[in-house]
Structure 1
Amino acid sequence: MKKKSWGILMLILLTAVAAGCSSSSSKANQTVKLAYVAWDSEIASTNVVKEVLESKLGATVEMLQVDAGPMWAGIADGSADGMAAAWLPSTHASYLEKYGQDIEDLGANLEGTKTGLAVPSYMNVSSIEDLKNAGVAKSLNNQIIGIEPGAGIMTASQKAIDAYGLSDYTLLESSSAAMAQELQKAYTDNKPIVVTGWTPHWMFANMDLKYLDDPKGVYGGAEQIHTMVRKGLKEDMPDVYRFLDQFQWTPEDMEQVMVEIQGGKSPEDAAKDWVSEHEDQVNTWLAGIK
């Protein structure tokens, strides 16, 4: 009888261990697909999210770099699990209207962002209206240096051109990296330039820049960056969902990572260093996860 009881006990223990290993293995083998746009701010945030998912939750992360439209579409159709890169309420308003009903909004992960036209502080202009001055337009070669054509700030900048009567200007399409390079070059040479700008961004930390006043309110006021996930993520990956729901940081936090990347660190190393140096903050993102 004792042998039988011992055998039953061992069977129960082995079953429990197997179940625990299966649960742990299941969690470790999860692949999380994160969509993001190649803006310096989103490169910083997405790599930090990736580092926490991999180092703290044992997940495998696949990063999907796309334009803004496909990023939203990917969350809506479930081909991506989440993003930490939705600029609201203005910059990505059209995408929210189109895809919002098929996406779960986990709220703001960063408060106090801003978009608009930016210039070096040494330029003697203070408002978008000042760009109409013939001398200013000539010094700028009638160009506004933009980023990717699908970005919300590009749509807003084209509206600004129309609203402020800047029909003589061309909004140049490029990329966020190319825009920043052009700005850095002009700044070093003390030359005039106007770019599509947003904060947080390392360029405001490394250069003395200013936004041009927007009296017509084309760019809207202060914005937030939201975390969006596909429907069903909460049921499929509850720990991943909980972390993404609790992920929140400040513009200063983000700028620390961006400045490190700009200084030569890889995005992965900059994110790894930031996470290791902010253990208490990271733990608040993981609260309630076993």
Structure 2
Amino acid sequence: MNTLYDNFNKILKVLALITVAAFIAAGCQSSTEETQKTADLVYVNWAEGIAYTHLAENVLEEKMGYDVNLTSADVGPAYTAIANGDQDAFMETWLPVLHQNYIERFEEDIVDLGHVYEGTQSGLVVPTYVEVDSISNLNQYTERFDGQITGIDAGAGVMQTTQEVIDEYNLDYELITSSGPAMTAALSSAIENEEPIIVTGWQPHWKFGRWDLKFLKQDEDNMLWERGNIHIMGRQNLEQDKPELAQFLKNMFFTEEQLGDLMVAVEQSDQDVSQVTMEWMNEHEELINSWIPEGAGEMASME
């Protein structure tokens, strides 16, 4: 009897140990899941967004312990991605004009995380050696410009507004779809040969630091472009699901000088954009640290 009783006790002890081990394993897995921090960010292939989105990736990974996934997309798909919850945040919303139609379409499914830059300007841009100064005079020079305005990707707000300008001013011009890099390449080639060219332009952008350019003036009674800000938009429930990430994106902000310096560094370097923004991050610790939510950097160092 004693032998049977002893064996039964041994079995109970083994089962108890297995149960305890299972609870510990489950606890460890739960803890790992809780501490795993991810950020899915979508951006458009525009100079300013490329620069500061990759900078955000560096900060999140190196200083805050995140696993970051970056996705480049056109504007329409970018808004759809955050509205559907497939991405955490879209890094470049231009308000109050260029992206207002997207905001109205998706306003119930996205949340404004604040602006990352103040004082944007967009419009039709020409080199300063071009004699035209105003949009209303463009039809006098249609042949000189081959009746073309060089644009960027079709879904961009500046493209939609440019088409409105063409219609409102009855311009005898065709808006050519391309991309941000293709537009600047065309601009570079024209300036090198001192040829006339009109492009869709916006500030902030490194091209204004590299070349002498000017915005064509609008008529005071027909102002279709306005100054504004660049915002970051998040998916609904981002602040509840990932409060630290949401707060970091809310804290991100550049002055004109800071963002200009970052864009020029990226544009002039032969290095990968991530490497350039990593170096810029290390050279601007005070600014970067002001974006990091309290306690986030400490947790990353502990991990």
Normalising by structure 2, we get a TM-score of: 0.85
- Cα deviation, residue 21, structure 1: 10
The root-mean-square deviation of aligned C-alpha atoms, in Å, is: 2.0
Q: Structure 2 matches for 1:217-256, cutoff 5 A?
A: 217-219=223-225, 221-256=226-261
Decide whether the 8 Å contact of 1:242 with 1:289 is kept in 2. Answer: no
Pick from 196, 200, 203 the counterpart of residue 196 of structure 1: 200
Are 1:64 and 2:68 counterparts?
Answer: no
CA apart distance, 1:84: 2.0
Task: Tell me, in whole angstroms, the C-alpha distance in 2 between the residues paired with 1:212 and 1:265.
Answer: 34
Partner of 2:87, secondary structure, is coil
Partners in 2 of 1:94 and 1:289 — Cα distance?
38
1:23 deviates by 5.1
Distance in structure 2 (CA, Å) of the matches to 1:88 and 1:20: 45
Unmatched runs of 5 consecutive residues or more in structure 2: 1-22, 297-303
Work out whether residues 88 and 224 of structure 1, in 8 Å CA contact, stay in contact via their aligned partners in 2: yes
Aligned to 2:7: none
**What residue number does 2:286 align with?**
280
Mean Cα deviation higher: 18-27 or 190-199: 18-27
**Could you list the per-position Cα deviations for residues 190-217 of structure 1 after superposition, in whole angstroms to 9, with x for gaps in the alignment?**
1110000001101001000000011211
Measured in 1, the distance between the counterparts of 2:145 and 2:55 equals 37
Q: Is the 8 A contact 2:113 2:246 kept in 1?
A: no
Residue 122 of structure 2: SS of its match in structure 1?
Answer: strand
Select which of 33, 38, 43 maps to 2:45. 38
Query: For the residues of structure 1 that align with 2:190 and 2:207, how far apart are their CA atoms?
Result: 13
TM-score normalised by structure 1 residue count: 0.88
Corresponding residue SS for 2:107: helix
User: Distance in 2 between the 1:184 and 1:22 partners?
Assistant: 54
Instruction: Report the 3-state secondary structure (helix = DSSP H, G, I; strand = E; otherwise coil) of the residue aligned with 1:56.
Output: helix
Q: Check conservation: 1:34, 1:62, Cα contact below 8 A.
A: yes
CA contact (8 A) 2:93 2:231 kept: yes
Decide whether the 8 Å contact of 1:105 with 1:229 is kept in 2: yes
> Which one of 247, 269, 274 corresponds to residue 268 of structure 1?
274
Contact 2:148 2:176 in 1 (8 A): yes
Offset of 1:283 from its aligned partner? Answer: 1.1
Counterpart contact for 2:125–2:213, Cα < 8 Å = yes
How many matched pairs?
Answer: 270
SS at match of 1:139: coil
Q: Equivalent of 1:74, from 74, 81, 89?
A: 81
Q: Matches of residues 94-173 of structure 1 in structure 2 within 5 Å? A: 94-133=101-140, 136-166=141-171, 168-173=172-177
**Percent same amino acid at aligned positions?**
38
* Cα distance in 2, alignment partners of residues 114 and 250 from structure 1: 14
Tell me, yes or no, if the aligned pair for 1:113 and 1:251 is still in contact at 8 Å: no
Residue 92 (structure 1) aligned to one of 96, 99, 121: 99
